[in-house]
Structure 1
């Protein structure tokens, strides 16, 4: 249902010509102009005690052909009354209603309450927002009617764009803190559709549309622990972001500082994501930190263990083969073999010839700090397994214990990297 929500004031209602969408509506009642233009299925008037006696009878009479209901609200003279107004407004609509909010006669804190109510209702009731409008009587020009009476010809401002800032903020926050580009996609497609309705093309918003694909891919790569694809698509984001910024400048310049936060993704970009270099290793390490900061603990630990295999290949001079399945398998076997070798040594058991089991094992075990590195690998593997099995065993770790290990994980990774790279020099 499409509903017009409007506040009734106590001030004098001046004869006015309201300008809406290229049309003129001659009436002292802004709600009449809005009803004639938007044709809502229902009108809800929020009325204070003073407004009920001052202006409601006249407004009621003018809107007699529309479905109108009145809802009493307090004056909003104290904090308790403000909260009461907020509660009344948000309870006045139903799930998935389409709302047109008129704040022309919103006095004191009512416009502020209106904006908060909209944000709240979109989240809680899944409403659709048709518009937020304000009859700008003071901004009108003075004209004379046919009878020679001087009145105001006033524009009706559409303030919906200001409300959309909440949606953009939510989209950027969701992307940066949760690797979810869904809300940003919705906002870009919304303004692109608006452009198409006006111009029958999408040339102005095309740079933003071109940015959506890489942003979505990057977000999913972070969530799915795909570092090669993440750093590769980060290069596309870096290349396309300047044009997208220019597009935002044309539509909603106020959003540029907000969206500029996304440009930091360019820091993960590398020219060749399949060539293993120290730079790429550091980019992947930074990506693991991003996952940890987002609370993607299982993904971060899983990627961290793979990163340790990658570091071994780089240190051992096999960086050109780092994405080959058999090479990675051999490097992982070397770390696992070293783990078994250390266990046998600690238990004073007879050692088999583990050095023949992996092309990297002998090299690794000649490192001065190989035992410390094996300990880090072993703890990482145990942590990965603990997370992967979801606590489905009788001796699983408690959440707080597990979380403490995850928090200490970055320090262990960095120690591993320092030790192995010192040996490779």
Structure 2
């Protein structure tokens, strides 16, 4: 089902809205006083939802749309008093629905004067929508602060109700040239910007830069190049950072030159987020990952990469093969007796990885540390400083 949501504002009761010719594209334009109806003609939604306050110009809107009968007089008085009820809107909306040939819902909303009223508008919208609905939102009319709320509503409804917000429209009457037509603006790019902001927040929380792949594809990066970023993220998160480095080295030049509308805006930030792969040695890169995961409070990965970095550096110093499991174990065993912090780090990593605590003095010490987050964070920082 497709649904158009349109705001109805409070205008001059003697004039209502001004008639304008809204230009949608080179071939389509409609002359209307209320942009939502021009948009209805253009989009042909399955349903129209009109949002307005108890003092919105309901009576002028319905009068202009040819609604007649006993319902109009009490509606006029109610608008003047600012106490319109849904009961008074029922008959006019049914007449309008019959004329348009689609269901029409009139949803009364508060004035969005504070957080409580703003949240109430979102609740009322969520109550009349179903998962999977495709929405268009018209923010042309209504109070000037409502478009900001509409942007939040689009994101909220998408996340909570699982609707798909296709586009946000604005009939830019103030941009109409003398004796010309009114342009119709599409503001869906704002939603795409929020997708990027969400992706950055996701990355900062869990380190998964694979979330940028679909955004880069939408932003015109070749799909194969963008997939390298997701592949790199997968390799890193499955403890194969060197394969991640190979993928990042391949995709990084594409990110550096990417100049898509939004990717270009976030390019430098993305480069900074994945810059760990530029470390000169393997143990430098693993240490960078350990620091990044500790910053995100991902203690298991922080301990794992810290341990791996120490072992890799030990292999480097001993000139042994840091990719051979046996040589890595031997290199660690050669230094663990003289480096208590290394043994402590390995015990801590094992305790975090396995969950089930083994017996023994060192295991009991690790269990005690893990039981308190501040103690665990402090110990990991101390081990990092001692070993590096």
Range class of TM-score, shorter chain:
0.7 to 0.9
Cα displacement (A) at 1:169? 0.7
Of 87-96 and 27-36, deviating more is: 87-96
Q: Structure 1 residue 259 and structure 2 residue 295: aligned?
A: no
Cα displacement (A) at 1:165? 0.8
Q: Root-mean-square deviation (CA), in Å? A: 2.7
Counterpart pick for 1:389 among 354, 359, 366: 354
- Name the CA shift for 1:140/1:402 in 2 (closer, same or farther; >3 Å): closer
Cα displacement (A) at 1:406? 4.1
Alignment partners' CA distance in 1, 2:303 and 2:48? 55
Cα displacement (A) at 1:392? 6.1
Q: Structure 1 residue 415 and structure 2 residue 380: aligned?
A: no
Alignment partners' CA distance in 2, 1:29 and 1:189? 37
Alignment partners' CA distance in 2, 1:127 and 1:182? 24
CA contact (8 A) 1:217 1:230 kept: yes
Q: What residue is the counterpart of 1:405 in the other structure?
A: 376
**Count of aligned pairs between the two proteins:** 346
Listed as ranges, the gaps of 5+ residues in structure 1 are 144-151, 193-204, 339-369, 418-425
Counterpart pick for 1:283 among 282, 285, 304: 285
SS at match of 1:322: coil
Once the two structures are superposed, the pairs formed by residues 157-176 of structure 1 within 5 Å of their partners are 157-176=185-204
Q: Structure 1 residue 26 and structure 2 residue 34: aligned?
A: no
Q: What residue is the counterpart of 1:6 in the other structure?
A: 6
Q: What residue is the counterpart of 1:344 in the other structure?
A: none
Q: What residue is the counterpart of 2:332 in the other structure?
A: 332
CA contact (8 A) 1:10 1:55 kept: no
Once the two structures are superposed, the pairs formed by residues 5-404 of structure 1 within 5 Å of their partners are 5-11=5-11, 12-22=16-26, 23-50=28-55, 51-59=57-65, 64=99, 65-77=101-113, 80-143=116-179, 153-192=181-220, 205-206=221-222, 209=223, 211-244=225-258, 246=259, 248=260, 251-252=261-262, 256-265=264-273, 267-270=275-278, 279-318=281-320, 321-335=321-335, 338=337, 370=338, 373=339, 375-391=340-356, 396-397=367-368, 399-401=370-372, 404=375
Cα displacement (A) at 1:55? 1.9
- Name the CA shift for 1:79/1:414 in 2 (closer, same or farther; >3 Å): closer
**Between Structure 1 and Structure 2, whose CA radius of gyration is higher?**
1
Cα displacement (A) at 1:415? 1.6
CA contact (8 A) 2:217 2:226 kept: no
SS at match of 2:181: strand
CA contact (8 A) 2:276 2:285 kept: yes
SS at match of 1:108: coil
- Name the CA shift for 1:398/1:57 in 2 (closer, same or farther; >3 Å): farther
SS at match of 1:269: helix
Cα displacement (A) at 1:46? 0.8
Alignment partners' CA distance in 2, 1:13 and 1:91? 29
CA contact (8 A) 1:222 1:287 kept: no
Alignment partners' CA distance in 2, 1:268 and 1:92? 47
SS at match of 2:214: helix
Of 376-385 and 234-243, deviating more is: 234-243
Alignment partners' CA distance in 1, 2:113 and 2:313? 65
- Name the CA shift for 1:191/1:62 in 2 (closer, same or farther; >3 Å): farther
CA contact (8 A) 2:369 2:375 kept: no
Alignment partners' CA distance in 1, 2:233 and 2:293? 11
CA contact (8 A) 1:234 1:269 kept: yes
